[in-house]
Amino acid sequence: MNKLLWMLLAVAGSALAQPADTAQVHVNGTLVTPPCRPGFATSLEVKLGEVNVRQLLDDSASVTEVPLTFACRANSRVSLSLSAGLGGVDRQTLRTSREGLGLRLVGVGTQPGFTLGETSNWIAGSEPLVLTLRVKPVSLGALPDAGSFSATLLMQILYL
């Protein structure tokens, strides 16, 4: 039994004394520019100006247009998803900081507006891609009290 124990210790000791195998891994790649560059800052401030409470009553508040321009390689895909920072009333209207006042995402003519929570996709051509976000103040039931307001619209933009 002693001989077996000494043999096991000798084999284990020689196994521990062996040099470790070494390996080299070479990594390389190419850094490329994104397929699109937005022509606006990552944080936008949009001024709607003054809206008369009476305009909310007869739904005649003016629409504010916010152009979103992208310089893209031809055939690049732009995906845009919008969500309301203060919550949405429905899929077209986001809440504002003023109780009873919302901002509606509107379209023009046959072109539908953006929808909260849905992803919209576009394929870029040779010219810059220009998307227009249109918002309009609306009453959410009873007319809100006069005063300042703000809202936050979050955009998630993917380029492929």
The DSSP call for residue 109 is: T
Token reading at 145: 């009290």
User: Does 106 reside within a domain?
Assistant: yes
The pLDDT tens digits of the residues spanning 32-60 come to: 889 999 999 989 899 998 999 999 999 99
The reply to whether 90 falls in a domain is yes
Residue 9 backbone phi and psi in degrees, to 5: -65, -40
Q: Quick check: is 147 in a domain?
A: no
Task: From 104, 119, 109, select the one nearest 157 (Cα to Cα).
Answer: 119
Residues 71-127 have pLDDT tens digits of: 999 999 999 999 999 999 999 999 999 999 999 999 876 566 799 999 999 999 999
Q: Is residue 117 part of a domain?
A: yes
As given in the structure block, the two tokens for residue 95 are 């809440």
- Decide if 113 contacts 105 (C-beta within 8 A): yes
Q: What's the domain count of the chain? A: 1
Helix (H) or strand (E) holding 2: helix 2-16
pTM of the model: 0.74
